[in-house]
Amino acid sequence: MTPSLILASASPRRSELLKQLGLVHSIQIANIDETPLANEKPADYVLRVAHEKSLAVHQQCAQGSVVLAADTSVVLGDTIMGKPDNLAHALSMLSRLSGTTHQVYSAVSLRGRINQQVLNISDVTFRTLSEQEIIDYWHTGEPADKAGAYAVQGLASIFIQSIQGSFSGIMGLPLFETAKILSNEGIKVFNE
C-alpha cells in the first residue's frame, strides 16, 4: 500500500507539479520562521528551511505518512532574494537581475521511513530590462509573492534569455530529484 503523501507547502505551483506526476497528495502548511541566519550561505539556507518545513509537518502527522517540503531561493552572487514587499523592492530586485545570470536554489526534504534531502541549482540569464517593463510587470500582480520578484512559468518568461538546469526547480520543485527520492520511499510517479 502506498503511504499517504503530504505536501508541506502553500505553493499552488508545487501542488500542480506533483499532480503533473500523477501524485495524489494533501496539503499541510508548515509555520516556520524562514528568515536567513547571519552569514548563511544560499545552499545551507534552502536546505535548512526545507528540512524545518518537513520536520514541523511530519511531527503533526499520522504514523506512516510521508511529508515532502521544498524551499526555493533566487540568488545573485551570495545574496538571497526573497519576495518583494512593494513596487520599489521589486524594482530593485529585477533591476539587479537585469542583464545578468543568477542562480535558483531549490531544496527538497522528504520524511518517511527514511529522511532524504536534495538540492538543485539552476542558472537563469535575464535580458536587459527597462524600468518601465519592471513597473508594468509589477502591476500585473504576478511578482508580488514570488522569490526574486518573478515567475519563470508566467509573464516573466519574456525576460529570460536562457536557462541551464531544471525548469521545474526554478518553479519551486525540481521534479527529477523529487521523483528519485519519492521512489526511494516507495512512492511511484504516474500512479492513477
Q: What is the pLDDT of residues 57-92, one digit of tens each?
A: 999 988 889 999 999 999 999 999 999 999 999 999
Please report where in the chains the cell 510517479 appears, as a residue: 189
Domain count of the fold of the chain = 1
Please report where in the chains the cell 538540492 appears, as a residue: 119
Check pLDDT > 60 for residue 192.
no
pLDDT of residue 3: 67
For residue 102, the domain's CATH number is 3.90.950.10
**pLDDT tens per residue, range 83-119:** 999 999 999 999 999 999 999 999 999 999 999 999 9
Mean pLDDT across the chain, nearest whole number? Answer: 94
Is residue 3 within 8 Å of residue 187, measured between CB atoms?
Answer: yes
- What letter does residue 2 receive in the DSSP assignment? P
Q: Is residue 137 part of a domain?
A: yes
3-state secondary structure 14-47: HHHHHHHCCCCCEECCCCCCCCCCCCCCHHHHHH
Q: Is residue 189 part of a domain?
A: no
Q: What is the mean pLDDT of residues 25-46?
A: 95
- Domain extent, residue 161, equals 5-184
Q: Is residue 131 part of a domain?
A: yes
pLDDT of residue 154: 95
Q: Quick check: is 71 catalytic?
A: yes
Q: Is residue 147 part of a domain?
A: yes
Q: Is residue 31 part of a domain?
A: yes
Residue 60's φ and ψ, nearest 5 degrees, are -100, 0
Provide the whole-model pTM: 0.94
Check pLDDT > 80 for residue 1.
no
Q: How far is the C-alpha of 69 from the C-alpha of 23, rounded, in Å?
A: 14
Q: Is residue 191 part of a domain?
A: no
Check pLDDT > 70 for residue 163.
yes
**pLDDT tens per residue, range 123-161:** 999 999 999 999 999 999 999 989 999 999 999 999 999
Q: Is residue 192 part of a domain?
A: no
Q: Is residue 36 part of a domain?
A: yes
Exactly one of 71, 78, 85, 136 is catalytic; which is it? 71
pLDDT of residue 191: 58
61 SS3 class: coil
Burial 88-105 (b: 16+ CB within 10 A, else e): ebbbebbebbbeeebbbb
Q: At how many degrees (to 10) do helices 12-20 and 175-184 cross?
A: 70
